[in-house]
Structure 1
Protein backbone atom coordinates (compact mmCIF):
# COMPACT_ATOMS: atom_id res chain seq x y z
CA UNK A 1 0.00 0.00 0.00
CA UNK A 2 1.21 3.49 -0.75
CA UNK A 3 2.11 5.95 1.99
CA UNK A 4 -0.97 8.02 1.15
CA UNK A 5 -3.13 4.91 1.51
CA UNK A 6 -1.60 4.11 4.89
CA UNK A 7 -2.18 7.68 6.05
CA UNK A 8 -5.84 7.45 4.97
CA UNK A 9 -6.23 4.14 6.81
CA UNK A 10 -4.67 5.76 9.89
CA UNK A 11 -7.08 8.69 9.66
CA UNK A 12 -10.04 6.33 9.34
CA UNK A 13 -8.81 4.43 12.41
CA UNK A 14 -8.48 7.72 14.31
CA UNK A 15 -12.03 8.70 13.34
CA UNK A 16 -13.19 5.28 14.56
CA UNK A 17 -11.46 5.77 17.92
CA UNK A 18 -13.12 9.17 18.30
CA UNK A 19 -16.43 7.54 17.35
CA UNK A 20 -16.01 5.10 20.22
CA UNK A 21 -15.66 7.90 22.75
CA UNK A 22 -18.35 10.17 21.31
CA UNK A 23 -20.69 7.20 20.68
CA UNK A 24 -21.90 8.60 17.38
CA UNK A 25 -20.11 6.40 14.88
CA UNK A 26 -19.73 2.63 15.02
CA UNK A 27 -16.12 3.12 16.09
CA UNK A 28 -14.80 -0.42 16.24
CA UNK A 29 -16.49 -1.31 12.96
CA UNK A 30 -14.66 1.61 11.34
CA UNK A 31 -11.36 0.65 12.98
CA UNK A 32 -11.65 -2.99 11.94
CA UNK A 33 -12.92 -2.12 8.47
CA UNK A 34 -9.95 0.17 7.92
CA UNK A 35 -7.52 -2.53 9.01
CA UNK A 36 -9.28 -4.99 6.71
CA UNK A 37 -8.81 -2.65 3.74
CA UNK A 38 -5.14 -2.24 4.67
CA UNK A 39 -4.64 -6.01 4.97
CA UNK A 40 -6.43 -6.64 1.68
CA UNK A 41 -4.35 -4.11 -0.24
CA UNK A 42 -1.07 -4.91 1.52
CA UNK A 43 -1.48 -8.67 1.36
CA UNK A 44 0.84 -11.24 2.85
CA UNK A 45 0.85 -13.30 5.99
CA UNK A 46 1.92 -10.48 8.31
CA UNK A 47 -0.91 -8.19 7.20
CA UNK A 48 -3.52 -10.90 7.64
CA UNK A 49 -2.15 -11.92 11.04
CA UNK A 50 -2.41 -8.27 12.14
CA UNK A 51 -6.00 -8.19 10.89
CA UNK A 52 -6.78 -11.41 12.75
CA UNK A 53 -5.35 -9.98 15.99
CA UNK A 54 -7.39 -6.81 15.48
CA UNK A 55 -10.54 -8.81 14.75
CA UNK A 56 -10.14 -10.91 17.90
CA UNK A 57 -9.52 -7.77 19.99
CA UNK A 58 -12.63 -6.06 18.62
CA UNK A 59 -14.76 -9.19 19.00
CA UNK A 60 -13.65 -9.61 22.62
CA UNK A 61 -14.31 -5.93 23.32
CA UNK A 62 -17.77 -6.03 21.78
CA UNK A 63 -18.67 -9.16 23.74
CA UNK A 64 -17.07 -7.87 26.94
CA UNK A 65 -18.89 -4.57 26.85
CA UNK A 66 -22.28 -6.29 26.75
CA UNK A 67 -21.38 -8.70 29.52
CA UNK A 68 -19.84 -6.13 31.86
CA UNK A 69 -22.35 -3.34 31.30
CA UNK A 70 -25.25 -5.78 31.41
CA UNK A 71 -24.09 -7.25 34.70
CA UNK A 72 -23.71 -3.73 36.11
CA UNK A 73 -27.25 -2.84 35.06
CA UNK A 74 -28.72 -6.08 36.45
CA UNK A 75 -27.09 -5.35 39.81
CA UNK A 76 -28.72 -1.92 39.80
CA UNK A 77 -32.05 -3.52 38.78
CA UNK A 78 -32.44 -1.26 35.74
CA UNK A 79 -34.51 -3.07 33.08
CA UNK A 80 -33.59 -3.18 29.41
CA UNK A 81 -36.82 -1.37 28.55
CA UNK A 82 -35.57 1.69 30.44
CA UNK A 83 -32.31 1.58 28.52
CA UNK A 84 -34.11 1.19 25.20
CA UNK A 85 -36.26 4.25 25.87
CA UNK A 86 -33.21 6.18 27.08
CA UNK A 87 -31.26 5.13 23.98
CA UNK A 88 -33.98 6.52 21.70
CA UNK A 89 -34.08 9.70 23.77
CA UNK A 90 -30.29 9.96 23.47
CA UNK A 91 -30.49 9.71 19.68
CA UNK A 92 -33.15 12.42 19.59
CA UNK A 93 -31.05 14.50 21.98
CA UNK A 94 -28.03 14.23 19.71
CA UNK A 95 -29.94 16.08 17.00
CA UNK A 96 -31.58 18.57 19.35
CA UNK A 97 -28.35 19.51 21.15
CA UNK A 98 -25.46 18.13 19.03
CA UNK A 99 -23.02 15.75 20.79
CA UNK A 100 -23.84 16.80 24.38
CA UNK A 101 -27.55 16.12 23.89
CA UNK A 102 -26.88 12.42 23.51
CA UNK A 103 -25.68 12.13 27.09
CA UNK A 104 -28.12 14.67 28.54
CA UNK A 105 -31.21 13.12 26.99
CA UNK A 106 -30.03 9.59 27.79
CA UNK A 107 -29.49 10.39 31.47
CA UNK A 108 -32.67 12.44 31.69
CA UNK A 109 -34.74 9.66 30.14
CA UNK A 110 -33.32 7.03 32.50
CA UNK A 111 -34.16 9.26 35.44
CA UNK A 112 -37.70 10.03 34.26
CA UNK A 113 -38.55 6.45 33.29
CA UNK A 114 -37.22 5.07 36.56
CA UNK A 115 -38.97 7.81 38.52
CA UNK A 116 -42.25 6.90 36.84
CA UNK A 117 -41.61 3.19 37.36
CA UNK A 118 -40.39 3.25 40.96
CA UNK A 119 -42.00 6.45 42.31
CA UNK A 120 -38.86 7.29 44.30
CA UNK A 121 -36.47 10.08 43.30
CA UNK A 122 -33.50 8.63 45.20
CA UNK A 123 -33.91 5.22 43.58
CA UNK A 124 -34.35 6.83 40.16
CA UNK A 125 -31.14 8.81 40.67
CA UNK A 126 -29.30 5.63 41.69
CA UNK A 127 -30.53 3.94 38.50
CA UNK A 128 -29.39 6.95 36.45
CA UNK A 129 -25.92 6.82 37.99
CA UNK A 130 -25.76 3.08 37.29
CA UNK A 131 -26.75 3.64 33.65
CA UNK A 132 -24.10 6.33 33.24
CA UNK A 133 -21.47 4.06 34.83
CA UNK A 134 -22.50 1.25 32.47
CA UNK A 135 -22.09 3.67 29.55
CA UNK A 136 -18.59 4.52 30.75
CA UNK A 137 -17.80 0.81 31.10
CA UNK A 138 -18.98 0.27 27.53
CA UNK A 139 -16.88 3.12 26.20
CA UNK A 140 -13.81 1.96 28.12
CA UNK A 141 -14.03 -1.64 26.96
CA UNK A 142 -14.71 -0.65 23.35
CA UNK A 143 -11.84 1.83 23.41
CA UNK A 144 -9.49 -0.81 24.82
CA UNK A 145 -10.41 -3.16 21.98
CA UNK A 146 -10.01 -0.41 19.40
CA UNK A 147 -6.62 0.57 20.79
CA UNK A 148 -5.38 -3.04 20.77
CA UNK A 149 -6.54 -3.30 17.14
CA UNK A 150 -4.73 -0.04 16.34
CA UNK A 151 -1.52 -1.29 17.95
CA UNK A 152 -1.80 -4.48 15.88
CA UNK A 153 -2.08 -2.35 12.75
CA UNK A 154 0.92 -0.21 13.73
CA UNK A 155 2.96 -3.37 14.32
CA UNK A 156 1.80 -4.57 10.90
CA UNK A 157 2.97 -1.31 9.35
CA UNK A 158 6.41 -1.78 10.86
CA UNK A 159 6.65 -5.45 9.88
CA UNK A 160 5.43 -5.10 6.28
Structure 2
Protein backbone atom coordinates (compact mmCIF):
# COMPACT_ATOMS: atom_id res chain seq x y z
CA UNK A 1 0.00 0.00 0.00
CA UNK A 2 1.21 3.50 -0.73
CA UNK A 3 2.13 5.94 2.01
CA UNK A 4 -0.99 7.99 1.22
CA UNK A 5 -3.11 4.86 1.56
CA UNK A 6 -1.56 4.07 4.92
CA UNK A 7 -2.15 7.64 6.09
CA UNK A 8 -5.82 7.35 5.08
CA UNK A 9 -6.12 4.03 6.93
CA UNK A 10 -4.52 5.70 9.95
CA UNK A 11 -7.03 8.55 9.77
CA UNK A 12 -9.96 6.11 9.68
CA UNK A 13 -8.45 4.34 12.69
CA UNK A 14 -8.26 7.66 14.56
CA UNK A 15 -11.90 8.39 13.67
CA UNK A 16 -12.78 4.93 14.97
CA UNK A 17 -10.93 5.56 18.23
CA UNK A 18 -12.80 8.85 18.66
CA UNK A 19 -16.01 6.94 17.93
CA UNK A 20 -15.34 4.59 20.83
CA UNK A 21 -15.18 7.54 23.20
CA UNK A 22 -18.02 9.59 21.76
CA UNK A 23 -20.23 6.48 21.32
CA UNK A 24 -21.87 7.86 18.19
CA UNK A 25 -19.81 5.96 15.64
CA UNK A 26 -19.16 2.21 15.69
CA UNK A 27 -15.57 2.80 16.78
CA UNK A 28 -13.95 -0.62 16.76
CA UNK A 29 -15.84 -1.61 13.62
CA UNK A 30 -14.18 1.33 11.85
CA UNK A 31 -10.78 0.45 13.32
CA UNK A 32 -11.02 -3.19 12.29
CA UNK A 33 -12.51 -2.30 8.91
CA UNK A 34 -9.64 0.04 8.15
CA UNK A 35 -7.10 -2.62 9.14
CA UNK A 36 -8.95 -5.15 6.97
CA UNK A 37 -8.73 -2.85 3.94
CA UNK A 38 -5.04 -2.30 4.63
CA UNK A 39 -4.41 -6.07 4.95
CA UNK A 40 -6.40 -6.76 1.78
CA UNK A 41 -4.39 -4.26 -0.26
CA UNK A 42 -1.02 -5.04 1.34
CA UNK A 43 -1.37 -8.82 1.55
CA UNK A 44 1.27 -11.21 2.89
CA UNK A 45 2.22 -10.64 6.52
CA UNK A 46 -0.37 -7.88 6.87
CA UNK A 47 -2.95 -10.59 7.48
CA UNK A 48 -1.21 -11.49 10.75
CA UNK A 49 -1.63 -7.92 11.94
CA UNK A 50 -5.30 -8.04 10.97
CA UNK A 51 -5.76 -11.37 12.77
CA UNK A 52 -4.16 -9.96 15.93
CA UNK A 53 -6.34 -6.84 15.72
CA UNK A 54 -9.47 -8.93 15.18
CA UNK A 55 -8.72 -11.09 18.22
CA UNK A 56 -8.07 -8.03 20.38
CA UNK A 57 -11.27 -6.32 19.24
CA UNK A 58 -13.31 -9.48 19.77
CA UNK A 59 -11.91 -9.86 23.29
CA UNK A 60 -12.65 -6.20 24.02
CA UNK A 61 -16.23 -6.58 22.82
CA UNK A 62 -16.70 -9.66 24.97
CA UNK A 63 -14.98 -8.02 27.92
CA UNK A 64 -17.13 -4.91 27.80
CA UNK A 65 -20.32 -6.98 27.93
CA UNK A 66 -19.05 -9.12 30.79
CA UNK A 67 -17.64 -6.29 32.91
CA UNK A 68 -20.47 -3.81 32.34
CA UNK A 69 -23.07 -6.55 32.74
CA UNK A 70 -21.59 -7.68 36.04
CA UNK A 71 -21.54 -4.08 37.27
CA UNK A 72 -25.20 -3.61 36.33
CA UNK A 73 -26.26 -6.90 37.92
CA UNK A 74 -24.60 -5.86 41.18
CA UNK A 75 -26.57 -2.62 41.10
CA UNK A 76 -29.77 -4.46 40.08
CA UNK A 77 -30.17 -2.43 36.89
CA UNK A 78 -31.93 -4.39 34.10
CA UNK A 79 -30.92 -4.17 30.46
CA UNK A 80 -34.35 -2.74 29.66
CA UNK A 81 -33.42 0.39 31.60
CA UNK A 82 -30.33 0.81 29.43
CA UNK A 83 -32.42 0.21 26.33
CA UNK A 84 -34.73 3.07 27.34
CA UNK A 85 -31.69 5.22 28.01
CA UNK A 86 -30.16 4.32 24.66
CA UNK A 87 -33.30 5.12 22.71
CA UNK A 88 -33.70 8.41 24.56
CA UNK A 89 -30.02 9.19 23.98
CA UNK A 90 -30.40 8.74 20.22
CA UNK A 91 -33.50 10.95 20.19
CA UNK A 92 -31.70 13.48 22.38
CA UNK A 93 -28.75 13.56 19.99
CA UNK A 94 -31.05 14.89 17.27
CA UNK A 95 -33.08 17.17 19.54
CA UNK A 96 -30.01 18.80 21.12
CA UNK A 97 -26.99 17.88 19.00
CA UNK A 98 -24.06 16.43 20.95
CA UNK A 99 -25.21 17.32 24.51
CA UNK A 100 -28.64 15.76 24.04
CA UNK A 101 -27.28 12.23 23.95
CA UNK A 102 -25.88 12.13 27.50
CA UNK A 103 -28.65 14.34 28.91
CA UNK A 104 -31.49 12.27 27.50
CA UNK A 105 -29.70 9.01 28.38
CA UNK A 106 -29.33 10.00 32.02
CA UNK A 107 -32.86 11.38 32.19
CA UNK A 108 -34.43 8.27 30.69
CA UNK A 109 -32.45 5.90 32.90
CA UNK A 110 -33.45 7.89 35.97
CA UNK A 111 -37.13 7.99 34.98
CA UNK A 112 -37.18 4.28 34.11
CA UNK A 113 -35.61 3.39 37.45
CA UNK A 114 -37.88 5.81 39.33
CA UNK A 115 -40.93 4.14 37.79
CA UNK A 116 -39.52 0.71 38.59
CA UNK A 117 -38.23 1.37 42.11
CA UNK A 118 -40.58 4.13 43.35
CA UNK A 119 -37.66 5.61 45.30
CA UNK A 120 -35.67 8.65 44.16
CA UNK A 121 -32.48 7.77 45.99
CA UNK A 122 -32.38 4.18 44.70
CA UNK A 123 -33.27 5.40 41.20
CA UNK A 124 -30.38 7.86 41.30
CA UNK A 125 -27.95 5.16 42.51
CA UNK A 126 -29.09 2.94 39.63
CA UNK A 127 -28.54 5.85 37.22
CA UNK A 128 -25.00 6.34 38.53
CA UNK A 129 -24.37 2.60 38.15
CA UNK A 130 -25.60 2.78 34.54
CA UNK A 131 -23.24 5.69 33.86
CA UNK A 132 -20.37 3.75 35.43
CA UNK A 133 -21.19 0.74 33.26
CA UNK A 134 -21.15 3.01 30.22
CA UNK A 135 -17.74 4.29 31.30
CA UNK A 136 -16.49 0.73 31.71
CA UNK A 137 -17.72 -0.05 28.20
CA UNK A 138 -15.95 2.98 26.75
CA UNK A 139 -12.65 2.22 28.49
CA UNK A 140 -12.63 -1.45 27.45
CA UNK A 141 -13.57 -0.62 23.85
CA UNK A 142 -10.92 2.09 23.69
CA UNK A 143 -8.28 -0.28 25.06
CA UNK A 144 -9.22 -2.83 22.41
CA UNK A 145 -9.11 -0.22 19.66
CA UNK A 146 -5.74 1.08 20.82
CA UNK A 147 -4.26 -2.43 20.96
CA UNK A 148 -5.65 -3.14 17.48
CA UNK A 149 -4.01 0.10 16.32
CA UNK A 150 -0.71 -1.05 17.78
CA UNK A 151 -1.06 -4.34 15.88
CA UNK A 152 -1.60 -2.32 12.70
CA UNK A 153 1.39 -0.08 13.39
CA UNK A 154 3.58 -3.13 13.97
CA UNK A 155 2.24 -4.58 10.73
CA UNK A 156 3.01 -1.37 8.82
CA UNK A 157 6.50 -1.36 10.25
CA UNK A 158 7.09 -5.05 9.38
CA UNK A 159 5.69 -4.94 5.80
Alpha-carbon deviation of 1:97? 1.4
Aligned-partner Cα distance in 2 for 1:64–1:43: 30
Deviations 1:9-64 (A, max 9, x none): 000000000000000000000000000000000010x2011000000000000010
Matching of residues 6-85 of structure 1 within 5 Å:
6-44=6-44, 46-85=45-84
Alpha-carbon deviation of 1:104? 1.0
Displaced runs of 4 or more, over 2 A: none
In angstroms, what is the RMSD of aligned CA positions? 0.6
Residue number in structure 2 paired with 1:93: 92
Residue number in structure 2 paired with 1:114: 113
Unaligned ranges ≥5, structure 2: none
Q: Specify the SS of the correspondent of 2:29.
A: helix
Aligned-partner Cα distance in 2 for 1:132–1:107: 8
Equivalent residue pairs, number: 159
Provide TM-score, normalisation by structure 1.
0.98
Unaligned ranges ≥5, structure 1: none
